[in-house]
Amino acid sequence: MLAEWQNHKAQLRAYVTKRIDDVDAVDDILQDVYIKASVNLHQLKSAGSLKGWLYRIAHNTLMDFYRARQHFDELPDNLVAQEQDTGAEARAELAECLRPLIDELPEKYSIPLRLAELEGMPQQQIADQLGLSLSGAKSRVQRGRVKFREQLMACCDFEINEHGISGYSAKDPTRQCR
CA distance 169 to 176: 11
Nearest to 45 by CA among 35, 33, 58, 56: 56
β-sheet bridge partners, residue 161: 164
CA distances from 154 to 1, 100, 110, 172 (A): 83, 15, 17, 10
Structural domains of the chain sorted by starting position, each given as residue range(s) with its CATH number in brackets: 2-69 (1.10.1740.10), 89-170 (1.10.10.10)
* Per-residue pLDDT of the chain in tens (178 residues, 90 and over written 9): 567 667 788 899 999 999 988 888 899 999 999 899 888 887 777 767 788 888 899 999 999 998 888 777 777 777 776 666 556 676 677 677 788 888 889 999 999 999 998 888 999 999 999 999 999 999 999 999 999 888 888 877 777 777 776 676 777 666 555 4
CA distances from 103 to 25, 106, 175 (A): 73, 8, 18
Q: What angle do CA 116, 121, 126 make, to 5 degrees?
A: 80
Residue 148 · residue 113 · CB < 8 Å: yes
